[in-house]
Amino acid sequence: MLRNVRLIRLFAFPCLAGLFAFSSCEIINPEEEIPSYIHIDSIHLNTSDKPPYNITDAWVYVNDDLKGVYELPATFPILAGGPNNVQIKPGIEMNGIALTRIPYPFFTAYITSEDLIRDSVITINPETNPTGNVVWEEDFENVGITLQATSQSDTAAQRTDDPSIIFQGDGCGAFILYQNQNTFEAISSNTFAIPYNSSAIFLEIDYKCNNQFSVGIFANSVSQSIQVAPSLVINPKAQWNKIYINLTQEINAQINALNYNIYFGILKDSGVDVAEVYVDNIKLIYL
């Protein structure tokens, strides 16, 4: 009887060992799910403004789950097949900084139903529309402009219609410091009331420049007007560029403010004889 018990044990252990080995292999090497693939070349913005729009990324959701953020153009895998709801939110580099990528709250999401095919690529061509509450737009198409120099400025804000300079339409803003001038500052001619604790407040600008320039706000209360430190200092750019400047924190911090002005400032950089900053399609917007 003891001999039989020992034999059972002797044969039982190899069987258990084999079972464990088989189970381990299944855990280590599970059957891989075959993905489907989506290709997005770019996201089209329905606007009369001229590109570039600097929509850099696609935030991709499948059945309301975020699957990834992809720099465009992109081809990427999705672990799903068959009909699925796909939502694509246009993404930007906030303040022109690559490390601060966000889905831009002032572009609508593109929503579609797609039949995803495993081991195959489908192409989606998303479109988006501008949204939000616009409180200031300046496109420099009129002779009069909605910017005025402050007492700190050595020169005035101007409009130019030089076709070798302008970005779009018939004119653009020109902030120029010549050899004997070192400081420029201009504020919006009008004030803008923005509801306190708005969820997002941005300033959109097209620009090109050979000198740094700054952008910030004046916060106006009943008793005083406070110039807040610049929200952003923008570096020189030889070609026209679009930037999305986040003013949410600066404006919401001014709990006593009734309204605001936007200001632009230039201090001439070392080695620059004539500082030139050109701007167009200024838009102040909030949610």
Classify domain 133-286 at the CATH topology level. Jelly Rolls (2.60.120)
Q: Which listed CATH number (2.60.40, 3.40.1710, 3.30.1950, 1.25.40) goes with 36-128?
A: 2.60.40
- What is the full per-residue pLDDT of the chain (287 aa) written as tens digits? 333 333 333 333 343 344 334 444 555 666 789 999 999 999 999 999 999 999 999 999 999 999 999 999 999 999 999 999 999 999 999 999 999 999 999 999 999 999 999 999 999 999 999 999 999 999 999 999 999 999 999 999 999 999 999 999 999 999 999 999 999 999 999 999 999 999 999 999 999 999 999 999 999 999 999 999 999 999 999 999 999 999 999 999 999 999 999 999 999 999 999 999 999 999 999 99
Cβ neighbours of 191 (radius 10 Å): 17
Phi/psi of residue 95, each to 5°? 60, 20
Q: Which parts of the chain fold into alpha helices (H)? A: 2-28, 248-252
Q: What does the pLDDT read at residue 31?
A: 72
The residue behind tokens 């989506």 is 38
Q: What does the pLDDT read at residue 32?
A: 82
Q: What does the pLDDT read at residue 5?
A: 32
With CA atoms as reference, report the closest residue to 208 among 182, 174, 178.
Answer: 174
Domain residue extents for the chain? 36-128, 133-286
Distances (CA, A) of 269 to 181, 212, 216, 275, 276: 12, 7, 19, 8, 11
Report residue 100 as tokens. 């601060």
Rounded to two decimals, what is the model's pTM? 0.88
CA 146, CA 186: separation in Å to the nearest integer?
Answer: 10
| Tens digits of residue pLDDT in 149-189 | 999 999 999 999 999 999 999 999 999 999 999 999 999 99
Helix (H, G, I), strand (E, B) or coil at 2: helix
With CA atoms as reference, report the closest residue to 216 among 205, 229, 203.
Answer: 229
CA 44, CA 129: separation in Å to the nearest integer?
Answer: 9
Q: What does the pLDDT read at residue 15?
A: 39
DSSP-derived secondary structure letter, 3: H
CA 173, CA 199: separation in Å to the nearest integer?
Answer: 29
